[in-house]
Structure 1
Amino acid sequence: MSRKTQITYMAAGWCLAYPDAELVSRVPLIRAALGEFPGALAPFAPVLDTLESADLMATQADYVKEFDLGKRHALHLSYWTDGDTRRRGEVLGAFKKVYRGSDALVDTQGELPDYLPMVLEFAATVDLAAGQELLQQFRPSLELIKFGLLRDSLPHAAMVQAVCDTLPGASPANEQAVMRMAGHGPPTESVGLDPYDPRLLPLRGA
């Protein structure tokens, strides 16, 4: 099971990141790895098909429009829980603390440490237990990202659901249920679940 989880995280981390020629070259590897497990490939197939068949520049332009030009599909986990508030800096520091505690050099490549593809790759290749703890801690963020992708009919939603399926408990049925999962009613700001505070759940090594 852990191998399937690691492969799911690695594939999702790659496929949720900005598409480039290197990612396109990895598509056969991703298909082969996911193909080891019945049903594991299905959530990834639409994105992989696009990477193989569509013009790369067009795919990149679509990605920028959906993921970079606005925050409807923000892939930074703490954005959904802390928005652009001052306390977000503390949360980002907690992510860094987890990475440092792994005794492995984690290159953020200029990204914030809560960037979902980075967290997934960390879980897949460095420390599965610590990575899963982060993902579970920010489960409401994952679910909100998924619902946003579903709302806009983006195929990436199925990959995020595949990640959620590796975590304890069933996914909430709707966004209101996500609020209940976080222990709060509907958010008063569009930035996320404020005032839900993930620091109430201690990070590994904190």
Structure 2
Amino acid sequence: MAIQQPHNKPVSASVAGRQPGAVTLRVLAALLAYPDAELRGNLYEMGALLAADGILSGSRRAEIEAFVAQLSQGDALEVESAYVELFDRGRATSLHLFEHVHGDSRDRGPAMIDLGQTYAQAGLLLNEDELPDYLPAVLEFASTQPQRNAKDFLGEIAHLLNAIFGALRERDSSYACVLGALLDMAGHKAQPVAITAEPPIDESWAEPAAFDGCSTQGQARPGQPQPVRIVRNNPSIPQGANP
């Protein structure tokens, strides 16, 4: 995603004037992106940016700094292959949120289109090889919102973040600290949750009940504005949390 620049570019001081928490969200988004040479070359500034933003606790920042050191000091090929093995081999640790919500069902396509249009309306452009439900892209979108709205948005997807956190902890992955930081920002406790078995593919592709499609599940009808909905609408979240 691009906010004046591709999302995997270094988070620079030019974003320092944004809402409190915006820089932290962009740093965490970068840390969850593929650790290519460009990203690893800019890891040195991550700790300073998190400290300057002042959103995360000192203990959480220390945990992330240790993780950053691990990324920067590790063998490049091993770091990159470990990332692919961790996030691209199975649904439990997938960083594509609709994998956890829709699986392989037909609902995923329309949801992708709706979310991509929301990004475009906010002036955010996806990289050609990037899907809109990719967590780093979602976090960059959240970084453009007022602080309270961003927190509410993170709260709406907190159960998904916790599920990924638990799966990462189960694999003894240091990436879990990044999900823990996101849950801190959402005002939720980071704690492992039971990982439910994936449904059979036939069940995932089952036709929805009559009159139970997108228009009755919180999605807009054709031609109407589409609010951001990663999960089913929670009436306790103020409407202002959506663009």
Range class of TM-score, shorter chain:
0.7 to 0.9
Equivalence for 1:189:
199
1:17-166 → structure 2 map (5 Å cutoff): 17-36=33-52, 37=54, 39=58, 40-102=60-122, 104-124=123-143, 126-128=144-146, 132-166=151-185
Aligned mates of 1:44, 1:165 — CA distance in 2? 13
- Offset, 1:162: 0.5
SS in 2 for 1:75: coil
**Structure 1 residues 31 and 13 mapped into 2: Cα distance closer, same or farther (>3 Å)?**
same
Q: Deviation string for 1:181-200 (max 9, x for gaps)?
A: xxxxx677289xx9998244
Give 1:138's aligned amino acid.
I
In the TM superposition, what whole-angstrom CA distance separates every residue of 1:109-142 from its partner, at most 9, and x where no partner exists?
Answer: 3211010011112222x33566555433322211
Change (3 A) 1:190 1:15: farther
Q: For residues 87-106 of structure 1, what are the alpha-carbon distances to aligned partners after superposition, in whole Å with 9 as ceiling and x for unaligned? A: 1223223322321332x132
Unaligned 5+ residue runs, structure 2?
Answer: 1-17, 209-216, 218-229
Equivalent residue letter for 1:171: K
Q: Which structure is larger by alpha-carbon Rg, 1 or 2? A: 2
Superposition RMSD in Å: 3.1
Give the residue type in structure 2 aligned to 1:162: A
What percent of counterpart residues are identical?
27
CA distance in 2, matches of 1:71, 1:188: 8
TM-score by length of 1: 0.78
Higher relative contact order (CA 8 A, sep 6+): 1
Between the two proteins, the alignment pairs up a number of residues equal to 191
Query: Which secondary structure does the structure 2 equivalent of 1:32 belong to?
Result: helix
Contact 2:163 2:193 in 1 (8 A): yes
Q: Deviations over 1:35-78 (max 9, x none)?
A: 33351522312321122211111111111111123333100111
